[in-house]
Each structure stands twice: as C-alpha cells, then as structure tokens.
Chains A and B, each alone.
Chain A
C-alpha cells in the first residue's frame, strides 16, 4: 500500500510539473510533453488496475464471495447463489458470445457481482458491476427474482459494460457519448429513428437540415466524418449564426461590440464572433443520438465479426465504421439517412383489431334491434 501511494504521489508531482510550465513551447517541445503526459497516463492506468485487483481481492475475502467463470463472463457471487448464477448466466453468456464474436472475451475484464440482500435468503439479490466504474451498483431489485429475470439482468449489464469499454477505448471522443452511454448492442428501433428525425428537423444547423434533405456530403459534415475548416460558415446559415449569438451568453460576453453589431443584422460580425468562440467551444452540429445510431447501424450491416473489425481497425471514425460494416462510409450514411427519414411507427388511428371488433359490435347491435318487439 505504501509503495503504491508513493508511486501515485510521484506521478501527481510529474503532472503538476508539466502543467506548471509557463514559458511558450515550440511544436517539438509540445509533442515531447504530450508524449510524457501519455506515458504518465499509462502509469496511472496501471496503478489503478493494481488497486482494482487489490480491492477485488479484499472484497472477496471480506464478503466471502466466490468467483464463477461462465466464459466470457466473470462473476463474483455470494456462495449461496453460486449454482443458480452459473445456471442462469449460461444463456446470457451464450447470447453475448454469439452476438459479439471473439471480442466477447473482453467481457472478462470486468466483474458482475451477484449478492443476496439477506444472508438467510437467496431469493432477493442485488447485481452490481465492478470495472471501469469501480464498485458502482447499477441496478438493485428488491423482491423475489426468477431465473429468467436474473439472466436478462446479467445479459443487459454485461452488454452495457462492453459498450462502455468499446467506446471508451475506440470511439469515445468522436461519439460524444458519456463513457459509452447510449450504445445499445441491439438493432436501432423504429421509434429511435423517429426521435432522431425530430432532432434533425428541428436542428439549428443548416448542415443537419441539408443532411435531412438528402445531401450525403452534408451528413458527413454534420456527423464530423469529414473535416471542417470553418464551422461557423459551413454549419450555420446567417439566421442560424444570428440565433446562436443571440442565445449564447458566452459568445456575447466574449465580444460585446461584435455581438451588438450581429444583433443589428450584420452577418460578418456574427461570423467573427462565432469564429472566435469556436476556437475554444466548438459545437457539434448533429443530434446527440445520431452517432450512436450510426455505430449500431454499421455493426448491424457488418454482421458476423463486426465488433472484431471495429476494434481491430485503426484510424479515423469513418475508416473504422467502413471496416465494421464492410461497405464504404458514404453507403453507411446513405442507409442511415434513409432510415432516419423513412422509419415509420404504425399509426394508432386504425388497426385490424379495431376494425374487426367494431364491425362485430355493429352487427350485434343491429341484430338486437331487429329482434325488438312491435308491441311497446
């Protein structure tokens, strides 16, 4: 423990020393400093991994938990739940292996913890995750849990762990996702496409609206799959720039005179204010859910081995997604746009059930009326 603490202190001191440097640096020096920061980050990650293993050992020893391996899953289980958990985890593990392919093996880098709420009763359980979000109990169910529920529970939480690990390691910066949140492993549902459509229709950026209108190049720009040199000019039209400056107090505070001229209708001033603002606070033009749906679509198009290719490929997100789906990136975006525009949720107004039920009641009431008496 003491060695570990000293190591962490040294790492911290190194970080502080790096940050404290005030003299302007040349490009070569910046690269050298970045390399040092990366090296420090690797050391910190190793230290955290050691600490995690240590805490896992302590918890197993303290709480008397057993380790149950149901490849690719690794579970920490209360002794009384050992056989039951092994039984119900098997179908979840099989389903995950089938869906994820060989990369499912990465699931065993995290722990799924299944405990009893009471020592004398194994019917009521809690399920937690230990891994990147160390020790966080993400779900808790009070009451009797049947095997099917527990199996689904294990499957869903393992999927969540995988999604976080996948994005955390590969697409986190581009995806704009908070540690992989929103990357479900399932096919995108019609209602999700419809919600995305709403977001695009109401987007403040002209590039997103053009994308929804069918412009694939605009979609590539909106999804930041192609580089943009001047976002203030390319993503917003004059009305959008004016609205952005009007609604954004940071922009107004940074350049009051320019913001005033912008509010008077001077688009050049709006452009200038936004260009200054976007140096530090560049917005994202597309809706938050858009990139998640694109990743899920690429995986769906890619079929067997899609996750393997996503993890194995390096380079820009567009290259990774193309490798995942095994089709060019513009083809993925075209399919994605088509689904965004055309996905339909069945109308509630009329269904076969409503029609058949109504006709039956009309006939029944009509028959009753025909049998009414002449004598009243």
Chain B
C-alpha cells in the first residue's frame, strides 16, 4: 500500500523535487561565488551571512510545495481514492506524510553536497571555517518543519483552514484598531515572538544561517 501511495505521490511531486534539488545544490556555490568578491575575511563572512536568508526561504518553499503536492491528487479527486481504500484515515495520512518526508531527501542531500564542495574548494579565507554538516542539518529540520506544518493545514477541512486564516486576519485587524485608537498594546509582537523565537514553531528559520563562519 505504501509503495502505491509513494508512486502516485512521486508523480505529483517529482518536478518540484528535481527543481528544489538543483536549487539546493546551487545555493552554497552561488554564495561562495558572491563572497569571493569580498576584499577581506570579515567581508567574506558578511557576504555569506547575507546569503543565509535564501537557505530559509528555500527550505520553507520546499516544505510548502511538497506538502501541497502530497494532497493535490486527493483534492483533485474529491478524496474518492482515499475513501475507497480499506485503511484508516490516520494510516492513509501517515503514508502520505512519510512519502512526503522521503521526497525532501534529494534536496537535503544536494545541499549537503553543494556545501561540502564549497568547504573543499580551498576558496575559504584562512582563519575561517566551513560548517557544511550543521547547515545541511538545519536546512533539513527547517524543510521538515515547513512540510509538517503545511501538511497538517492541507490535511484539515476547509473549515479549519478558514478558521486559521480568519484568526491571523483578526490579529492584524485588532492591531490596526488598537493603533487607530491610540493604544500602545502590542498584539503582533508577542505573536511574532511566539512563532519565531525559540521554541516557536518557526524558530528554526530565524537567526543566522552560516555556511562559513569564524
């Protein structure tokens, strides 16, 4: 059963997985190419740091797209295929979850490979160090968090998704009203901290992503 789901899900995901794999391999090399124009070691590190945000964006994009692709056949077929299978909903969702996680692997390995190539080129200034494994592990965790989050949202009913969207919009609207009435009460700040500051769900995306550091 898992193999059948794996094959059907691969057909929906393979294009973006291949694209993500190429991007993941190219990112470290592109950051090195850009950093080589730096005139000193500090400039090299700053340049590498400036590229750090792209790793987070790539991981979030990878997780989002693979999660959406996992449920796309079900949404397109109005869940008839899922309902026709002689397995529980939880088991079915578990197979889809596991298949999606597997499809993240090529991009993660490509990033590790690209980062390792950067570390071995000898183009890193003396006194600096490369952290290919740490960066690849963080990229993997970020992609998996994004995948799990969007997979959970996509697996829910439209009503649940609507409630989540309404809650987020309500927060922004409440903050707007508070500002309009001259209140200093901050709604979005604590929410942002809750999400992006450890141990928030997206905290893995915040902070510095450094392939090369001191």
Contacts and interface: CB of A to CB of B under 8 A. Distances in A.
B94 A202 contact: no
A337 B131 CA distance: 23
B30 to A, nearest CB: 18
Contacts of A374: 79, 82-83, 89
Contact of A358 (B152, B204, B208): B204
A355 interface: yes
A99 interface: no
Interface residues of B, number: 45
B135 interface: yes
B97 A369 contact: yes
B155 A369 contact: yes
Interface of B: 40-42, 79, 82-83, 89-90, 93-94, 97, 125-127, 129, 131, 134-135, 137-138, 141-142, 144-145, 148-149, 151-152, 155-158, 198-201, 203-204, 207-211, 213-214
Contacts, number: 118
Interface residues of A, number: 34
B89 A212 contact: no
Nearest to B88: A374
- The SS class assigned to the A binding surface is helix
Contacts of A357: 198-200, 203-204
What secondary structure prevails in chain B residues at the interface with A? helix
A373 B141 contact: no
Interface of A: 194, 197-198, 200-202, 212, 341, 344-345, 347-350, 353-355, 357-362, 364-366, 368-374, 376
Given A198-B41, A355-B141, A374-B79, 14 more contacts: A197-B127, A198-B42, A200-B127, A201-B125, A202-B42, A341-B127, A349-B211, A354-B138, A354-B203, A355-B137, A357-B203, A357-B204, A362-B141, A368-B155
A202 B40 contact: yes
B89 A373 contact: yes
A369 B70 CA distance: 12
Contacts of A373: 89, 157
Contacts of A197: 127, 214
B74 to A, nearest CB: 9
A288 to B, nearest CB: 16
A358 B198 contact: no
